Amino acid sequence: MYALIDVHKRYGLRTVALRKLNLEIRHREFFVLYGPAGAGKSTILNLIAGLTKPTSGDISRDGVSIAHLPPERRGAAMAFENYALYSHLSVAENLAFPLRAAGLDRSEIESRVKRIASVLGIPHVLDRRPGFLSGGQRQRVALGRAIIRPADIYLLDEPIGHLDAKLRHRMRAELKALAVEMNATVVFTTTSSKEALALGDRVGILNSGRLEQVGTPAELYNSPANTFVASFVGDPPMSFLSVTARRSSDGVKLYNGDGQAIASAPFDVLGRTALKAGLRSNAIQLVDAQTSGALKGSVQVVEHLGHSNIAVIAAGGDSIQVSLPADRRLKPGEPVGMIIDPRQIHLFADERALVGEHV
Amino acid sequence: MLRRKSSWPVEVLRYGTILLVILFFFFPIFWMVLTSFKPESAIMVSPPQFFFTPTLDNYAHALVDKNFLFYVKNTLIISVISTLIVVAFGSLAAYSFARFNVGDGHILFFILSTKMMPAIAVILPYFLIFRDLGKTAIGKSLHLGLDQHGALIVSYVMFNLPFAIWLLVSFFQDIPRELEHSARLDGLSRLQVLRKVTFPLAAPGIAVTAVFTLIFCWNEFLFAYILTRKAASTVTVGVESFFTLQGILWGPVAAAATIAVAPMLVFVLVMQRYMVRGLTFGAVRG
């Protein structure tokens, strides 16, 4: 188990990369670090690998501090975002490099290189130099060089981030299968919500150097800790409505900026200010504009996804994304009504999630 | 690189132009080599002669009478040793500037600024320093006195090191840090990383620097002229001795110049292989 304890990392005097970060990577788990560019994902990998030192805080392996150890004694293997292939060496020599450094004998090196090349589907390019490979092939070589030798932890920095959509999808499945087969501890960084949810046993969501939430994909999707996590997990992202809670004739209700009631409050939030209601696109049922009790709005845009459509609907100064069956036709400007399931409302105050009985 | 096949008039024009440019730049060398084989009667005539009975008299004069190979030997010793020192220290210094930003750019600029002073401004101090240095014990053991190889080697290192460092810094900066990081994770020490990853990748830059430095040392005249008399004189000074009271011996001068240029031509041709750009192409994404 690797752990970062109260890690603070500054570059120069002003740039803060990580703030008081606490993180545990469990044995044999596939851990995904997910966040926007510049959130500090690569910094965490570099800290674990020993390529940079924390400004303050500690890094430990199985309870023993490793913060003072040089990279070669951290037990980590890493694939870099920009590949970092040795351009003066052939693909085979690139793959063999870690094994040569470890002092394996030649026949063992050769058989391992062949095996990894066939796993990654690149046996026909072994004699070429990296400069003559396609982007996808280079990324495979970079990945291969990281996983060719046994390591306590594999650090993969956006290893499939720059592939085209089709190859990316295939590599995602291959990578997950490979990790399971190797019984490996993996830390994987990505900027894609889909990749994070699909690959991670657990996912850590990082935002400007702060770990916003760590959990299984289901936990993150179903109970996001704050609006940042909520807006980052899931596709389409969660829609947010600014609401106020007021008592009405039949209990406490939530009202939007127009003063329209959107739904009953799922739990008592009277007196809370800066309230936001978060809605997943499938928590909303679209009905006729005249339906009583429905939230009224008008269609802005319809996005076609093939298997379904996403309608963006304006209501009370908010934009709400709603999933539609593919055969449901809507025109921009058309008035519609929305019925919102109160049990599926996520409530946030000051961007933090409020937890009620229904959760 | 792949190029679209052009129609034949375009090809003719292209190769015609290339031929013209080559003729223009190679003519002086061609004329020098031609002159070196001419009998004296064919040299200073008008119109110039392209056809004549070739003779080796000029080479005999340069090699036997003037013992020109002695100058070639001096030049070879001084240039090669200077270049080796410049490349060895230059690449280490450049690496530290490029990777660790030593001196925050100020030291690097200071080093380059030493090149801004015209060489002739310091020739007198150099002369006096080496004259006195030659009398000390350490100066004697390192041949640092006037008309000794060590003095010229030290001078040439002084002149070339700043430029070499400046040139090499950009080559080292182009090598992605991740390549070194990756090798470190694979268990190599810092020095092993330098030997197995960084320097092989910087090879084209080091080759370019070596070529520039060697050519400078080979062609240098002013310091060689002032700091040597006979024992450590180089080819440039040697050629000058053909300008006699009886007149300029054009034939032997051409022969000597041909001998002086030949090793450099061979060297540059050999190094060309390493100077090809794009060896680092494909290391990282992009």
What string of DSSP letters covers A191-259?
S-HHHHHHH-SEEEEEETTEEEEEE-HHHHHHS-SBHHHHHHSSSSPPEEEEEEEEEETTEEEEE-TTS
Give B17's pLDDT tier (boundaries 50, 70, 90): very high
| Percentage above 70 pLDDT, chain A | 99
- My answer on whether A256 and A277 are in the same domain is yes
Full residue range of the structural domain in which residue B34 is found? 1-39
Nearest CB to A78: which of B182, B189, B286?
Answer: B182
Do B140 and B9 lie in a common domain? Answer: no
User: Which residues does A53 contact at the CB level (< 8 Å), separation at least 6?
Assistant: A47, A67
Which of residues A232, A264, A298 is at a domain's end?
Answer: A232
Calculate how close chain A gets to B29, using CA atoms only, in Å: 36
Q: Is the pLDDT of residue B128 over 80?
A: yes
Residue B55 in any domain: the answer is no
Same domain for A200 and A328, yes or no, is: no
pLDDT, mean over chain B: 88
> What is the mean predicted confidence (pLDDT) over A332-353?
90
A201 with A290, same domain: the answer is: no
Set of chain A residues whose Cβ sits within 8 Å of the Cβ of B188: 72, 101
Summarised one tens digit per residue, pLDDT across range A195-208 is 999 999 999 999 99
Distance from C-alpha of A256 to C-alpha of A276, rounded to nearest angstrom? 9
* Alpha-carbon gap, residue B202 to B171, rounded angstroms: 6
With a pLDDT cut of 90, the percent of chain A lying above it is 50
Closest chain A residue by Cα to residue B189? A72
Q: B32 and B65: one domain?
A: no
Separation in Å, CA A349 to CA A150, A263, A354: 47, 17, 7
- Percent of chain B with pLDDT strictly greater than 70: 94
The number of folded domains in chain A is 2
Cα-flanking dihedrals φ and ψ of residue A242, to 5°? -75, 125
Min distance B196 CA to chain A CA atoms (Å): 10
Task: Summarize pLDDT for A295-307 with one digit per residue, the tens.
Answer: 999 999 998 888 8
Mutate which of A43, A88, A133 to disrupt the B interface (most B C-beta within 10 Å)? Answer: A88
Based on the fold, state whether residues B173 and B68 are members of the same structural domain: yes
Residue pLDDT, tens place only, A231-272 = 988 878 899 999 998 888 888 888 888 888 888 888 878 878
Reply yes or no on whether the pLDDT at B286 is more than 50: no
Chain A residue at shortest CA distance from B181: A51
Q: How far apart are CA A178 and CA A162, in angstroms?
A: 20
- Collect all residues of chain B within an 8 Å Cβ-Cβ radius of residue A131: 278, 281-283
Query: Residue A124 pLDDT > 90, yes or no?
Result: yes
Is residue B179 domain-resident? Answer: yes
pLDDT-wise least confident of A107-116, A333-342, B4-13: B4-13
Domain edge (last residue) among A172, A197, A232: A232
CB-CB under 8 Å, B285 with A97? no
Do the chains contact at A86 and B179, CB–CB below 8 Å?
yes
Q: Is residue B247 part of a domain?
A: yes
User: Same structural domain for residues B23 and B78?
Assistant: no
- CA B212, CA B168: separation in Å to the nearest integer? 12
pLDDT band at A160 (very low <50, low <70, confident <90, very high): confident
Residue A7 located in a structural domain: yes
Count CA atoms within 13 Å of residue B234 on its CB side: 27
More confident: B252 or B5:
B252
Beta carbons within 10 angstroms of residue A305's beta carbon: 12
pLDDT at B285 over 70: no
Chain A residues lying within 8 Å of B185, measured CB to CB: 49, 51, 71-72, 74, 76-78
Spatial distance between the Cα atoms of A158 and A254, rounded to a whole number of angstroms = 41
Report the amino acid identity of residue A200.
G
Which chain B residue is nearest to residue A83, measuring alpha carbons? B284
* Per-residue pLDDT band at B132 (split at 50, 70, 90): very high
Instruction: Choose the closest CB to A72 out of B176, B187, B284.
Output: B187
- CATH code for the domain in which residue B221 is found: 1.10.3720.10
Please indicate, yes or no, if residue B142 is contained in any of the structural domains. Answer: yes
Backbone angles phi, psi at A252, to 5 degrees: -80, 130
Residue B279 lies inside a defined structural domain of this protein: no
pLDDT in the model for residue B24 = 95
pLDDT surpassing 90 at residue A291: no
Tell if the CB–CB gap between B282 and A101 is shorter than 8 Å.
Answer: no
pLDDT grade for B1, boundaries at 50, 70 and 90: very low
Q: What is the CATH number of the domain that holds A212?
A: 3.40.50.300
Residues A58 and A193 in one domain: yes
Q: Are A310 and A323 in contact (CB under 8 A)?
A: yes
Is residue A248 located within the same domain as residue A227? no
Question: How far does Cα B119 stand from its chain's mean position?
Answer: 17
Q: Do A138 and B203 touch (CB under 8 A)?
A: no
Same domain, B258 and B197: yes
CB-CB: which of B188, B200, B201 is closest to A101? B188
Q: Which of A71, A83, A138 sits opposite B185 (nearest CB)?
A: A71
Pick from A87, A99, A147, A148 the residue to mutate for testing the B interface (most B CBs within 10 Å). A87
Do A80 and B181 count as a contact with CB atoms less than 8 A apart? Answer: yes
B31 and B68: one domain? no
Write phi, then psi, for A40 (nearest 5 degrees).
115, 15
Q: What is the pLDDT of residue A178?
A: 86
Q: Is A333 on the interface with B (CB under 8 A)?
A: no
Same domain, B148 and B261: yes
Looking at the fold, whether A209 and A271 belong to one and the same domain comes out as: no
Q: Please count the CA atoms within 13 angstroms of the CA of A169 that sit on its side-chain side.
A: 2
CATH number of the domain encompassing residue A248: 2.40.50.140
Considering the domain boundaries, does residue B7 fall inside one?
Answer: yes
Whether residue A345 is predicted with pLDDT greater than 50 in this model: the reply is yes
Residue A122 neighbours by CB under 8 Å, 6+ apart: A91, A137, A140, A141, A144
Contact A72/B186, CB-based, under 8 Å? yes
Q: What is the pLDDT of residues B179-192, one digit of tens each?
A: 999 999 988 888 89
In the sheet that holds A261-264, the strands lie side by side as A261-264, A251-255, A239-248, A275-279, A346-349, A352-353
Asked if residue A39 is part of any domain, the answer here is yes
Asked if A33 has any chain B CB less than 8 Å from its own CB, the reply is no
Domain count, chain B: 2
What average pLDDT score do residues B85-90 get? 96
A173 SS3 class: helix
CB atoms under 10 Å from CB of B163, counted, come to 19
Chain A residues closer than 8 Å to B277 by CB: none
Cβ atoms within 10 Å, residue B178: 21
In a domain, A359, yes or no: no
Examine residue A138 and state whether it is found in any structural domain, yes or no. Answer: yes
Interface check for A78 against chain B (CB to CB < 8 A): the answer is yes
Evaluate whether residue A358 is within a structural domain. Answer: no
Mean pLDDT (whole number) for A222-230: 92
| Residues A166 and A48 occupy one common structural domain | yes
- For residues B260 and B29, the answer to whether their CB atoms sit within 8 Å is no
| Beta carbons of A88 and B201 less than 8 Å apart | yes
CB B161 within 8 A of CB B88: no
The count of CB pairs under 8 A between chains A and B is 86
Distance in angstroms between the alpha carbons of the first and the last residue of chain B: 17
Q: What is the mean pLDDT of residues A34-44?
A: 92
CA distance A160 to A156: 9
CA-CA distances (angstroms) from residue A278 to A222, A241, A343?
Answer: 11, 7, 11
Predicted confidence at residue A336, as pLDDT, reads 92
Q: In this predicted model, what pLDDT tens digit does every residue of A176-190 receive, in sequence order?
A: 888 888 888 999 999
**B52 pLDDT tier (thresholds 50, 70, 90):** confident
Q: Is residue A219 domain-resident?
A: yes
Q: What is the pLDDT of residue B282?
A: 44
* Shared-domain flag, residues B19 and B134: no
Neighboring chain B residues of A83 at a CB cutoff of 8 Å: 283-285
Structure tokens at A62: 């199985």
Residues of B in contact with A76 (CB under 8 A): 185
Do A226 and A263 fall into the same domain? no
Same domain? For B158 and B257 the reply is yes
pLDDT for the residue B281: 45
User: Does residue A130 share a domain with residue A62?
Assistant: yes
B123-130 LR contacts (CB < 8 Å, sep 24+)? B123/B222, B123/B223, B123/B226, B126/B155, B126/B223, B126/B226, B126/B227, B127/B226, B127/B227, B130/B227
Using a CB-CB cut-off of 8 Å, the residues of chain A touching B282 are 85, 87, 129-133, 138
Q: Contact at 8 Å (CB) between A276 and A352? A: no
Residue A316 in any domain: the answer is yes
Please tell me whether residues A106 and A182 are part of one structural domain: yes
Print the domain residue range for A83. 2-232
Question: How far is the C-alpha of B78 from the C-alpha of B60, rounded, in Å?
Answer: 25
- A348 and A254 both lie in a single domain: yes
Tokens of B35: 């002159």
Query: B68 with B74: CB under 8 angstroms?
Result: no
- B-chain residues near A77 (CB < 8 A): 185
B280 belongs to a structural domain: no
Same domain, A199 and A273: no
- Nearest Cβ partner of B187 from A51, A101, A138? A101
Average pLDDT, chain A: 89
In angstroms, the Cα distances linking B75 to B149, B154, B232 are 9, 14, 8
A65 close contact with B: CB closer than 8 A: no
Of A204, A232, A260, the one marking the end of a domain is A232
What is the torsion angle, in degrees rounded to the nearest 10, for the CA atoms of residue A16, residue A8, residue A355 and residue A26? Answer: 130
pLDDT band with cut points at 50, 70 and 90 for residue B276: low
CA distance A57 to chain B (A): 22
Q: How confident is the model at residue B2, as a pLDDT?
A: 52
Alpha-carbon distances, residue A160 vs A29, A128, B194, B227 (angstroms): 19, 21, 29, 63
- B285 and A135 within 8 Å at the Cβ level: the answer is yes
CB–CB contact B283 A86 (8 Å): yes
Split at pLDDT 50, 70, 90, the class of A359 is very low
Let me know whether B2 and B72 are in one domain: no
Shared domain check, B144 and B31: no
Residue B48 resides in a domain? no
**Residue labelled with tokens 């966040």:** A35
Round to whole Å and give the CA distance between B280 and A304.
44
Question: Quick check: ipTM above 0.90?
Answer: no
pLDDT bucket at A91, cuts 50 / 70 / 90: very high
Average pLDDT in the B258-272 region? 87
What is the pLDDT confidence band of residue B198, given thresholds at 50, 70 and 90? very high
B201 contacts in A (CB within 8 Å)?
86-88
Report the C-alpha gap between B169 and B183 in whole angstroms.
21
B243/B130 same-domain check: yes
Which pLDDT value is given to residue A202? 96
